Every structure is written in C-alpha cells, then in structure tokens.
Structure 1
Amino acid sequence: MAEGVLFDIAGEIIKKLGSRALQEIEVWWGVKDELQKLECTVSRIRAVLLDAEKKAALNEQVKDWLGKLQEIVYDADDLIDDFATEALQRQVMTGNRMTKENHST
C-alpha cells in the first residue's frame, strides 16, 4: 500500500523537476546537472517500485528496503518543494522590482 504512495510521490517529483520554476532555479544556482541526475534516479526508482510492491508481501528484505526508500523519496520531495518555493519567491521579488521600475519611469 505504502509503495503505491511512493510510486505516486516519485511521479510528482519528476513532474516538479520539469516545472518552469525549477528550470529557472537550475540557471540561477547552477544545479542543472544535479537536478537532471535526480530526475533520472527518481525515474529508475519509480520503475523498481512497481515490482517491489508485489514482492514486499513475501519478502522482509524488500519490505525493509522500501521503508528506507520511503524516507529518501520524502526527503527528495521536500527538497524539490524547497527549490520551487525559492523560485516562486524570486519570481515575485523580480516581478515586484520590475513593476516598481515601470511605475518610476
């Protein structure tokens, strides 16, 4: 059951990594390669989750592995959310600055 949730969260991470806000963060902070590696890793994890969910019911080692993986997936999701929040804050600050400059002229 939890593995299905992990599969969905992994899909959301991939979706967030493709967002425009994170693409801007890649440029600002120079982390494009790292975020692309993260996207590739999460894609691989997502593929393995489909098989692991079936095996977890019969194998305690797989169940333990999935528990550890759950922590990593949640941490990655939190990190991506932090990046997205920072990107939105920068967009708002930049937008406000541009609006003020336009009104000053």
Structure 2
Amino acid sequence: MGSLLMPLLGSMAAKAGNELVRELMRAWGLEKSRGKLERHLAAVQDILLDADAKSRTSPAVRRWMVDLKTAVYKADDVLDDFRYEALRRRAAQIRRRHRCSRARKVLSYFTANSPVIFRLSMSRKMKDALEMIDELVVEMNNFHFLQHVEAPSVDLPQTHSQVDE
C-alpha cells in the first residue's frame, strides 16, 4: 500500500506548491495551512517505506495506512478544487476584460461561483483535511517509524595496478 501512496504524496506536494494554488491560498489567508500540509506530506514520505514494511505484521499500522490513504485522497481533492478555482478565476478575468458590467460583478457574489461561498467551504474542507493528517502524524510519531534517508554517496579513491616501490 505504501508503494501506492508514494506517487500520490509526490503529486500532492507538487499541487500544494503550484503557483496558482499558492497565490489563491495566500490571498485567502490559508498560506499557513498550505505550508503545514506540505511539511506533513514530507514527513510522511520519509517514513512510508518503514510503515509499509511494518504494516505487513501489525494490524494497527495497517489501519493507520488505510486512514492515511483516506486522508491523502481527501487533501488531494481539496488541492484539486483550489487549482480548479484558480484556473476558473483566471478564465473569468479574461472574459471580464471583454465584457464587464458592474451588475454582473455584483451578481457573481450571489451565485454558485461566489468567491465568498467558495472561500468559506474551501476553508472548512482544508481545515478538515489538515486535522485528519495532523492526527495521523501524531499517531505516526507513536509508531516510531524509521526515516528513510538517502544513503550518502561515498567517493572511493582511484586505484590502479602500479606497484609503489
């Protein structure tokens, strides 16, 4: 299961770091939440190999992995929604340049695409997803997983067959 989560976590990190998503979340005061999500994803990525190995023998770790998968998919959906909204807003700006009326702008705040409604619902979704991941990170620390760190490369000295006298 961990091998399935690794690409998803990498994809989510890329989405969280996407400039459109960052810009929209910064504008709505969600930059701290986005940064926290990125840090948690990096921490989980570091221990995923050990968690996957331990999940084969421990039902508690296996359950934690299932919950992690659910939380990651939920957070991924939230990031997709932010990216979609950022793209929708960019397209709307382009359309508005061609035909802009004050009445249309005012009415947009009361439609399904209202920035106020979207902001409130997305803030709630982001908070919920982050709370789930926060809980899982606390549990992760209780399991004492080993971090996977890249093995340092060792530079071996050049050798040759010439005999020193």
- Report TM bin, short chain: 0.7 to 0.9
Correspondence for 1:71? 70
Correspondence for 1:83? 82
Residue type of the alignment partner of 1:89? R
TM-score normalized by the length of structure 2:
0.57
Correspondence for 2:134? none
Correspondence for 1:60? 59
Aligned residues: 100
Correspondence for 1:6? 5
Which protein is bigger by CA-based radius of gyration? Answer: 2
Gaps of at least 5 residues in structure 2 are 101-165
Deviations 1:21-43 (A, max 9, x none): 10221232121111011111111
Correspondence for 1:41? 40
Task: Measure, in 2, the Cα distance between the counterparts of 1:97 and 1:81.
Answer: 24
- Counting aligned pairs with the same residue, the percent is 31
TM-score normalized by the length of structure 1:
0.86
Counterparts of residues 89-104 of structure 1 (less than 5 Å): 89-100=88-99
Runs of 4+ in 1 over 2 A off after TM superposition: 98-101
Residue 10 to residue 31, structure 1, CA distance change in 2 (3 Å): same
SS in 2 for 1:91: helix
Following TM superposition, by how much is the alpha carbon of 1:91 offset from its aligned partner in structure 2, in angstroms?
0.8
Gaps of at least 5 residues in structure 1 are none
Following TM superposition, by how much is the alpha carbon of 1:100 offset from its aligned partner in structure 2, in angstroms?
4.5
Higher share in helix: 1
